[in-house]
Chain A
Amino acid sequence: MSQVNDFAFKIATANGTGSASANGLIMQAIFRMGVPVTGKNVFPSNIQGLPTWYEIRVNHRGYTGRTSRFDLMVALNPATYAKDIAEVQSGGWLLYDSTWPLEASLRRDDVQYLGVPLAAMCNEAFGGVRERILMKNIAYAGVLAALLAIDLDEIRGLIREKYGKKPALIASNDRALALGYDYAQAHFACPLPVRLERMDATKGRILIDGNTAAGLGAVYAGATVGAWYPITPSTSLMEAFRAFCERYRVDPETGRKRFAIMQAEDELAAIGMVLGASWAGARAFTPTSGPGISLMAEFVGFAYYAEVPAVIADVQRAGPSTGLPTRTQQCDLLLCAYASHGDTRHLCVYPADPREAFEMMVQAFDLADRYQAPVFFMSDLDIGMNDWMVPELTWDASYRPDRGKVLTPAQLDGMKVFHRYLDTDGDGITARTLPGEHPKGAYFTRGSGHNRFGAYTEDPDEYQDVMERLARKIQRAADAVPAPAVQPADTTTRLGLITIGSCHAACVEALDALAEQGIALDYLRVRGFPFADSIRQFVDAHDTVFVVEQNRDAQLRSLLMIETGAPRDRFVSVTHYSGFPISAQHVTAGVRARLERHA
């Protein structure tokens, strides 16, 4: 059983009951006590009435990955009682609403039951159905404060920040909080052995979700046009972009908006708008998820061939088809790397957490402009929609967007002729111009065969000439996309572990655990595509490379094999595709299972 500042608890409710804000309150209060904390929201694809869970993990070492071991279960949804009770660790606790008796069959001998008549207390204290339901959430927050020693003042402070100008709301929240807190103090031995103690480990850190951070990144990158078609789990990225733009981009004098957000009729139109806007000189992007990428595929190939910048944020969810739209996966790795018909290959960036989401969103725009190509920003539901503890975001005031080779009217004035696809300096990247600026800048953007001068062609040599340059251009980007993050083991080892994106949190924790068990692994996290040479070198330097990823078919391993040419038997897959974020335990077990089999 874990103890002080090292435990996890889970809150089971039905969605639409307003529990989200109570859960957020608990998380943030713990964070303000200086104790590292993460939350994972496990929710249904539904608006009201289906089971939803919120998992909170407290860890003094700062591990932020998901854990599947829960010390305390707050079981408030009778529909999932059986399942929830089964998930409690032996020796753990179960908090339930004792307004109604708990069936004897649901009792476990190795779990302590803590009954609090939440509904009865709130029905007595509050009037109106909605208020009673909402205050029940705050009441269980009060119970948890007593049980886990969460500082009540922190919760009260947060309530005041939230409802600053609504004294009536503050009063009822305070009351509900006290109801729960006092009941627990009076009836249980508070606090429990799993509990909090103030620390100083969250200074310089924030709690933020990746979609908010990515939306902010788009603002800081100078994006002015966003086009989208709503799809979970990417929706809140555009909502964040909109909110930040409303805050920072409205001209105070005229009320005019220095941004445009277009809700398109579908994803085909969303990407079309992005290409039109980029072609006309704006920084433009579209957030979506797997099904949207499928629809965008034709235009993505167009953008590759006609060399139009575009930033496409894929907040991945479990597929195929509608799949599990509210569950996380990394299942579009192959799709995005080679999206579209014909010979195409695309730049991708793979953030591991919200801080990287912020930074890589900015990088994605620079890459798109520099390489005049679509760039996939590959996040996932876990990063995008959950609150992560990350170092504060920082901004380099000297940053200026890299707009790539865009000729100005003055430059065009001095030129005899301009040819859109002529590589004058051998780097594979050709200069572009913007419409409306200069008569000499005109060119014809087309998906049909064109030669280096931009003219229509069906000539094999002329066609291949452009295709080969494009291949070179994209390959060169391998050194410009975010470099892999490498962490060598403390001792020399022939074992390596490669992962990507949101698996990072689970992997670093697993590596520590394995090291303690005497298993040393060098670690590499892929952060960009095309792969840098150092990835191939890492693979070559190890006899066995574990590849940890969140999809069924080991897509990262496929990419590694295709792109590095390393033999298949070099790799051992540790996959996870339940829809829940991967845990360190899963990684550790996967690695151990293989090593034990070959021992």
Chain B
Amino acid sequence: MTYLPKPRVQHPALTTNAIGLTRRDYEGALTTLCAGCGHDSVTAAIVQAFWELSVPPHTVGKLSGIGCSSKTPAYFLREAHGFNSVHGRMPSVATGAGLANSALALIGVSGDGDSLSIGLGQFAHAIRRNVNLLYLLENNGVYGLTKGQFSASADRGSKSKKGESNEMEPIDPVLVALTLGATFVARSFSGDKAQLVPLIKAGLAHQGFAFIDIISPCVTFNDHEGSTKSYAYTREHQVEVVHADFIPRREAIEAEQPADALTSVVLHDGSTLRLRRVADDYDPADRDRAYAAIRERQQHGEVLTGLLHVATGARDMAGQQQLPEMPLYQVPYDVLCPGADALAQLQRRYR
């Protein structure tokens, strides 16, 4: 065996961020998904976004339901606690975790089966509560893990691998989220890292429920001709309307407004979202017009992507609950327990 010294080139994965961590430090276990699965690209985008933001990995809680998509929290942020829950119920677990520790950065990963069939109720109610959670729906139009049945996001007329045609109306999670008043709604494509990474960063900084529907093709069961969730179909029909550039707080001050900027949104932590209008007449601040625009383009077979709606200033769950600054789980027992005297006094009313 010959011995060759390694070239002294700095691998891009070894560049460090503001807290001295490399991209590797944001990775997890090796993926066990099919080669080429869209979900793995989303995982890579998550790693990139957290690394760029210099988030200490252990300050994150990563949660999921059940499905190929829901396996992915094992593949990023190995130093973060993970909670791979039960099918369709990740939102409730995230809700409880957020109540107990409002300082924890929560990211939830789900699939279209997990979110739109068995989990539609919990998905809806997490939106209603404006849980401070970045919710990624890795949408492939099928149940990957149970081998390719149509999911509720399958478009009408979309063909299964066996040639069956889906005759039912799809549930579009973006329209659902808009209807229910989600405060951050985006759609992206696993194959479009340039769009996805800033969206993930913006979603993390958003206070409240940040939803990103990510078309994430299933190469094994739904990437054939006739599928509307394939790589080819999505590449061809994706139309970006608003591109979000996320500018963290410390850079926000210097960032100047480029000529094509539509608007800037300052998030609660002082960071800025710079929204670049790619398509005409689209205003992400206007929920009703966003809804109408998405519907209209859908009728032309187009998939609008980008930051479709954002509203700042709404109270998130912790605010609605009037939780203290200190996470509930850290409040000392002495403060929580009314004590023996209070108990004696209270019981006068039961005599």
Segment touching A, from B53-61, B152-160, B248-256, B276-284: B53-61
Contact A435 B101, beta carbon cutoff 8 Å: yes
Q: Which residues of A contact B346 (CB under 8 A)?
A: 216
Contact B121 A269, beta carbon cutoff 8 Å: yes
A297 CB, nearest partner CB in chain B, Å: 10
Q: Which residues of B contact A438 (CB under 8 A)?
A: 58
B196 CB, nearest partner CB in chain A, Å: 24
Contact A269 B89, beta carbon cutoff 8 Å: yes
Contact A280 B101, beta carbon cutoff 8 Å: yes
**A485 in contact (CB, < 8 A):** no
A387 CB, nearest partner CB in chain B, Å: 9
Q: Which residues of B contact A395 (CB under 8 A)?
A: 339-340, 343
Q: Which of A235-281 contact B (CB under 8 A)?
A: 244, 248-249, 251, 254-260, 262, 264-266, 268-281
Q: Which residues of A contact B340 (CB under 8 A)?
A: 394-397
For A420, the closest partner residue in chain B by CB is B81
**A584 in contact (CB, < 8 A):** no
Contact A207 B351, beta carbon cutoff 8 Å: yes
A458 CB, nearest partner CB in chain B, Å: 11
**B4 in contact (CB, < 8 A):** no
CA A396 to CA B343, docked complex, whole Å: 11
**A421 in contact (CB, < 8 A):** no
Q: Which residues of B contact A260 (CB under 8 A)?
A: 99-100, 321, 323, 328
Contact A258 B324, beta carbon cutoff 8 Å: yes
For A31, the closest partner residue in chain B by CB is B351
For A392, the closest partner residue in chain B by CB is B347
**B338 in contact (CB, < 8 A):** yes
**Taking A272-B122, A276-B95 as contacts, is the C-beta distance between A447 and B85 under 8 angstroms?**
yes
**A126 in contact (CB, < 8 A):** no
Contact B96 A298, beta carbon cutoff 8 Å: no
Q: Which residues of A contact B80 (CB under 8 A)?
A: 435, 442
Interface size class of A (residues with CB under 8 A): 35 or more
Contact B350 A208, beta carbon cutoff 8 Å: yes
Q: Which residues of A contact B338 (CB under 8 A)?
A: 219-220, 244, 248
**A144 in contact (CB, < 8 A):** no
Point out which of A251, A257, A401, A444 has the most chain B C-beta atoms below 10 A from its C-beta: A444
Segment touching B, from A52-60, A221-229, A375-383: A221-229
Contact A220 B93, beta carbon cutoff 8 Å: no
Contact B351 A281, beta carbon cutoff 8 Å: no
Q: Which residues of A contact B78 (CB under 8 A)?
A: 442
**A127 in contact (CB, < 8 A):** no
Q: Which residues of B contact A281 (CB under 8 A)?
A: 100-101, 329-330
For B104, the closest partner residue in chain A by CB is A436
**B269 in contact (CB, < 8 A):** no
**A519 in contact (CB, < 8 A):** no
**Taking A206-B351, A442-B81, A445-B82 as contacts, is the C-beta distance between A269 and B343 under 8 angstroms?**
no
Contact B343 A220, beta carbon cutoff 8 Å: yes
Contact B83 A445, beta carbon cutoff 8 Å: yes
Chain A, 178-217, contact with B by CB distance < 8 Å: what is the 0/1 string?
0000000000000000000000000000111000000010
A540 CB, nearest partner CB in chain B, Å: 41
**A302 in contact (CB, < 8 A):** yes
Q: Determine chain B's interface SS by DSSP, over half rule.
A: helix
Chain A, 432-473, contact with B by CB distance < 8 Å: what is the 0/1 string?
011111110111111110000000100000000000000000
Contact B125 A269, beta carbon cutoff 8 Å: yes
CA A315 to CA B256, docked complex, whole Å: 61
For A268, the closest partner residue in chain B by CB is B89
Kindly identify which residue among A31, A222, A277, A442 contacts B79, using a CB–CB cutoff of 8 Å: A442
**A566 in contact (CB, < 8 A):** no
For B80, the closest partner residue in chain A by CB is A442
For A224, the closest partner residue in chain B by CB is B328
**Taking A251-B324, A254-B324 as contacts, is the C-beta distance between A272 and B85 under 8 angstroms?**
yes
Kindly identify which residue among A264, A266, A279, A400 contacts B83, using a CB–CB cutoff of 8 Å: A279
**A79 in contact (CB, < 8 A):** no
**A1 in contact (CB, < 8 A):** no
Contact B83 A276, beta carbon cutoff 8 Å: yes
**A32 in contact (CB, < 8 A):** yes
Q: Which residues of B contact A399 (CB under 8 A)?
A: 337
For A443, the closest partner residue in chain B by CB is B81
Contact B100 A225, beta carbon cutoff 8 Å: yes
CA A302 to CA B84, docked complex, whole Å: 10
**Taking A282-B100, A395-B343, A444-B82 as contacts, is the C-beta distance between A276 and B322 under 8 angstroms?**
no
Q: Which residues of A contact B56 (CB under 8 A)?
A: 439
B286 CB, nearest partner CB in chain A, Å: 29
**A102 in contact (CB, < 8 A):** no
Q: Which residues of A contact B101 (CB under 8 A)?
A: 280-282, 434-436
For B338, the closest partner residue in chain A by CB is A248
Chain B, 43-68, contact with A by CB distance < 8 Å: what is the 0/1 string?
00000000000001111110100000
**A147 in contact (CB, < 8 A):** no
Contact B92 A272, beta carbon cutoff 8 Å: yes
Q: Which residues of A contact B129 (CB under 8 A)?
A: 262
Contact A277 B58, beta carbon cutoff 8 Å: no
Chain B, 325-338, contact with A by CB distance < 8 Å: what is the 0/1 string?
10011110101111
Q: Which of A131-168 contact B (CB under 8 A)?
A: none
Q: Which residues of B contact A277 (CB under 8 A)?
A: 96-97, 99-100, 329
**B103 in contact (CB, < 8 A):** yes
CA A248 to CA B334, docked complex, whole Å: 12
Kindly identify which residue among B58, B124, B339 contacts A436, using a CB–CB cutoff of 8 Å: B58
B346 CB, nearest partner CB in chain A, Å: 8
Contact B342 A280, beta carbon cutoff 8 Å: no
**B74 in contact (CB, < 8 A):** yes
For B92, the closest partner residue in chain A by CB is A272
Q: Which residues of A contact B57 (CB under 8 A)?
A: 439, 442
Q: Which residues of B contact A264 (CB under 8 A)?
A: 92, 125
Contact A299 B86, beta carbon cutoff 8 Å: yes
Kindly identify which residue among B58, B96, B325 contacts A276, using a CB–CB cutoff of 8 Å: B96
Contact B92 A269, beta carbon cutoff 8 Å: yes
Point out which of B79, B89, B93, B122 has the most chain A C-beta atoms below 10 A from its C-beta: B93
Kindly identify which residue among A224, A393, A444 contacts B347, using a CB–CB cutoff of 8 Å: A393
CA A248 to CA B336, docked complex, whole Å: 8
**A76 in contact (CB, < 8 A):** no
Q: Which residues of A contact B322 (CB under 8 A)?
A: 255-257
**B94 in contact (CB, < 8 A):** yes
Contact A445 B81, beta carbon cutoff 8 Å: yes
For B77, the closest partner residue in chain A by CB is A442
**Taking A257-B322, A273-B92 as contacts, is the C-beta distance between A265 and B100 under 8 angstroms?**
no
Kindly identify which residue among B82, B324, B337, B351 contacts A257, using a CB–CB cutoff of 8 Å: B324
CA A456 to CA B31, docked complex, whole Å: 12
**A284 in contact (CB, < 8 A):** yes
The 8 closest A-B pairs by CB, nearest first: A276-B96, A272-B92, A435-B81, A281-B329, A282-B100, A273-B96, A277-B96, A276-B93
Known: A260-B99, A276-B96. 10 other contacts (CB 8 A): A258-B328, A260-B100, A265-B125, A269-B125, A273-B95, A276-B100, A279-B100, A280-B329, A302-B86, A444-B82
Q: List 30 A-B contacts (CB under 8 A).
A: A207-B350, A208-B350, A219-B336, A220-B338, A248-B342, A251-B324, A260-B100, A265-B122, A265-B124, A268-B92, A268-B122, A269-B92, A271-B92, A277-B97, A278-B96, A280-B329, A281-B101, A281-B329, A282-B99, A394-B343, A433-B81, A436-B59, A436-B81, A436-B104, A444-B82, A445-B82, A445-B83, A446-B83, A447-B86, A448-B84
Q: Which residues from chain B sit less than 8 Å from chain A, CB to CB?
A: 56-61, 63, 73-74, 78-86, 89, 91-101, 103-104, 121-122, 124-125, 129, 321-325, 328-331, 333, 335-340, 342-344, 346-347, 350-351
Q: Which residues from chain A sit less than 8 Å from chain B, CB to CB?
A: 31-32, 206-208, 216, 219-220, 222, 224-225, 227, 244, 248-249, 251, 254-260, 262, 264-266, 268-282, 284, 298-299, 302, 392-397, 399-401, 433-439, 441-448, 456
